[in-house]
Amino acid sequence: MCTTAALLVAAVAATGSAQQHDTTMPAMPPGMPMPAPPADTSPNAKEPAGAMHMPGMASNDMAMPIPMPKGMVMMPGLVGLTPPGGTFLPGAGVNAASLPDVRPSEVVRVKDGDTLDLSATLVRRTIAGHPYVMYGFNGQVPGPLLRVPQNATITVRFHNRIDLPSSIHWHGVRLDNRFDGVPGITQQPVAPGDSFVYHVHFPDAGVYWYHPHVREDVEQALGLFGNMIVDSPDSAYYSPANREQVLILDDLLVNADTLIPYGKTGPDFALMGRVGNLLLVNGEPHYSLAAHRGEVIRFYLTNAASSRTYNVSFGGAPMKVLASDVSRFEHEERVPSVILAPAERYIVEVRFDRPGRYALVNAVQAINHYRGEFDGEVDTLGMVTVDSTAAAPDYADAFAALRDNAAVTRDVDRYRPYFDKPPDKRLTLTMRGSGLPLATVQFMNVDTAYYAPVEWVDGMPDMNWLSTSDQVRWILRDEATGKENMDIDWHVKQGSVVKLELFNDPKSFHPMQHPIHLHGQRMLVVARDGVRTKNLVWKDTVLIPVGSTVDVLIDASNPGTWMLHCHIAEHLGSGMMTALHVDPGPAR
Amino acid sequence: MIGRLGAVALGAALLALSGPDIGPYDVPLYATASAPAAKGRARLVFAESPFGIAVTADGHARYDAQITAAGLPAPSSLGAYRAYVAWAVSSDLTRWQRLGVVTNGTSTVGAVAMDKFLLVIAAEQDSTVATHRGPSVLHGSSPSTFLQSFQAHTAFFHGVTD
């Protein structure tokens, strides 16, 4: 044994003994992890009891505190460790049988001036045969689908009946700052048993979602999310469709029949966020839809997962994308699949032109760190079964056409004079770690030859699980001042157009993509790595791949103090947030 | 004390040692014996996509290559050739995909949707050829080819032998 390696072994042993050990877990035998042959990569396929693995990967047939990818065991230097800080599961040990069964989302049509109640409560969810204590709004997962006319203002009385402080953030909605739902910025957290009244104004048509802005890694992950569809008064706002479907994509990390506990004092899985091994559509593992031949279905897609970026398609059925977060695209486009980073929304139309079965799949190229190779993973999220009855009316011609949305272009045109101005603000996205297990540090320091622009799966869940928000600090750094996260003090005048350059530093300790979300405003992605965007759309969340520089133009029209943060829940919980102060002033 | 020329030489030497600042999308291109004075580099950028990043339905990243070349001789100086064409080549060399025509200066070609690939610029009979036949003048490897295997990572923790 060489001297360096001997020292490293000793150091790792010392690190392990210094941390809390899980004495119920047998030590892993040393040995070479061997890659396993390709297999059915759907994590949602029927599993034998006790199975535990990451999507597309099989179990190790060994007791593991967390599921590991197929063919991989925990890194020896990490065996026996648990995340510091204690664990949390909802309900404090309540028997799931004593809770009401969760119900599917119900559509609530509201009009201007209406009032409704939303209560966050404990629910029992049975997923793949296993009952879990989780959360829901009004006993539903997803929460009620609010169908609202554009420019309506509604009142929502929120009642917190769960065991954590909470709030509701109305994601993407350019509403009055007082009702943005951010504890510490716009309100106090709503304590268990308390209530808060929100007045929510909906100025923009599209699909939006609501979720807590407290411990999203727990509350949102356990079911506190729902959609809002804001309907334009223009009945031809989108291309015609026979039907609409609202799909919230989400994932859940479970062992044999238990939830993997959450960090008690802050998020665990802080390095890359918690990536689930059960992929869910509207809270269920097997989405199913019956359709007629030639039917055009408009799908409203939302990614509510904590960390996972999706690449979804419908079994090769032709698809076009109409809209994203806060507006339609300038031009409809034919697309082979839809890429959704956490918190992003896309509205697409799909035509099922032949009878048969169309699998809704998430297909990605994962990285196998052990073999140094890319591995295709296909997760089947659901199935659309198309019969031979012809859909009526037949929208084939309208579907074949790709519309130009002149109103969007006219709106964007007002901002084109600002596209080429120098950035007003520059943020670098990076991280620092301290107190991480030495094995993690050693591995991360060596694994530096290549960084994937997007990590689609968690290739190293053992390292990830053992990283907490106490050890990992995700950073937004203002390049002008060197200030970081909430120490940044940015003020802009209402009505100003702010060009923000976001650079995702590939040389940070753990480079990773970040979906950056800005509250209460809208923004245009005008360029990526110097390449001008051709087909613009108003966004509230933008994915920044590793090593990329993305220029966004913020329409700072809504006064108030607005969060700007990474929407990977564990990154947000590890500090990756700042605030943009839009000071009231004369409109531009 | 070193003089100005010495300082310049030292700086150049340091720069040469440290090499260019290679980012995760950069592809240094190396000259072949066919055109030893040629220089080049490429930068991969995501192909145009409404989603900001571009991937195929099965998840392969789709990149355009911004190729900056200098010192390319006239293709005809290498034989019966009229154009330089960029090719993406699978790492096992079984698949050659035509990306587009390259000239001195910056040319954007693509898109390529291979996980690991070589980038080859070759003189070809004309600018429209669909099959690679001519001499290569510049070549490089996609950043993903540097993805390492850590199958033996346990050596860190159970010892290694010299």
Read off the CATH number of the domain in which A134 is found.
2.60.40.420
Chain B residues whose CB is inside 8 A of the A76 CB are 154, 157-158
User: How much is the pTM?
Assistant: 0.89
**Given CB atoms, is B21 within the 8 Å cutoff of chain A?**
no
Nearest-CB residue to B57 (from A5, A363, A446): A363
Q: Do A76 and B52 touch (CB under 8 A)?
A: no
The whole-angstrom separation of Cα A276 and Cα A362 is 13
A301 DSSP β-pair partners: A247, A346
**Given CB atoms, is B94 within the 8 Å cutoff of chain A?**
no
Q: Between the CA of residue A181 and those of A206, A212, A230, A250, what are the distances in Å?
A: 20, 8, 19, 22
Would you say residue A70 lies in a domain? no
> Are A392 and A372 members of one domain?
yes
Would you say residue B162 lies in a domain? no
Helix axes A3-18, A438-446, angle to 10 degrees: 140
Q: Contact at 8 Å (CB) between B110 and B138? A: no
**Given CB atoms, is A376 within the 8 Å cutoff of chain B?**
yes
**Domain range for residue A105?**
96-231
Chain B nearest-CA distance from A98, in A, is 43
Would you say residue A28 lies in a domain? no
CA-nearest residue of chain A to B26? A547
Chain A nearest-CA distance from B151, in A, is 4
Q: Do A33 and B154 touch (CB under 8 A)?
A: yes
Domain endpoint, select from A404, A430, A458: A404
**Domain range for residue B136?**
21-147
DSSP codes of every residue in B108-157: EEEEE--SSEEEEEEEESSTT-SS--S-EEEEEE-GGGGPPP-TTTTHHH
Count H helices, E strands: chain A? 6, 34
pLDDT confidence of residue A4: 33
> Are A216 and A325 members of one domain?
no
Overall domain count for chain B: 1
Q: Contact at 8 Å (CB) between A475 and A566? A: no
Closest CA to A474 of A580, A399, A334, A569: A569
**Given CB atoms, is A339 within the 8 Å cutoff of chain B?**
yes
Q: Taking the mean position of all CA atoms in its chain, how far away is CA A92? A: 26
Would you say residue B130 lies in a domain? yes
**Given CB atoms, is A50 within the 8 Å cutoff of chain B?**
no
Tokens of A242: 């026979």
Q: Between the CA of residue A14 and those of A9, A18, A78, A80, what are the distances in Å?
A: 9, 6, 12, 12
> Are A137 and A267 members of one domain?
no
Going residue by residue through chain A (588 aa), what tens digit of pLDDT does each one get?
Answer: 333 333 322 332 333 332 322 222 222 223 323 233 233 344 454 333 333 444 443 333 345 689 988 777 788 889 899 999 899 999 988 999 999 999 999 999 999 999 999 999 999 999 989 999 999 999 999 999 999 999 999 999 999 999 999 999 999 999 999 999 999 999 999 999 999 999 999 999 999 999 999 999 999 999 999 999 999 999 999 999 999 999 999 999 999 889 999 999 999 999 999 999 999 999 999 999 999 999 999 999 999 999 999 999 999 999 999 999 999 999 999 999 999 999 999 999 999 999 999 999 999 999 887 788 899 999 999 999 999 999 999 999 999 999 999 999 999 999 999 999 999 999 999 999 999 999 899 888 877 788 899 999 998 899 999 999 999 999 999 999 999 999 999 999 999 999 999 999 999 999 999 999 999 999 999 999 999 999 999 999 999 999 999 999 999 999 999 999 999 999 999 999 999 999 997 644
The number of residues making up chain B comes to 162
> Are A183 and A294 members of one domain?
no
Q: Do A449 and B148 touch (CB under 8 A)?
A: yes
CA-nearest residue of chain A to B108? A531
Q: Contact at 8 Å (CB) between B97 and B112? A: yes
Would you say residue B135 lies in a domain? yes
Chain A residues whose CB is inside 8 A of the B148 CB are 372, 447, 449-450
> Are A558 and A423 members of one domain?
yes
Would you say residue A20 lies in a domain? no
Tokens of A494: 């209402």
Q: Do B148 and A335 touch (CB under 8 A)?
A: no
Nearest-CB residue to A77 (from B151, B157, B159): B157
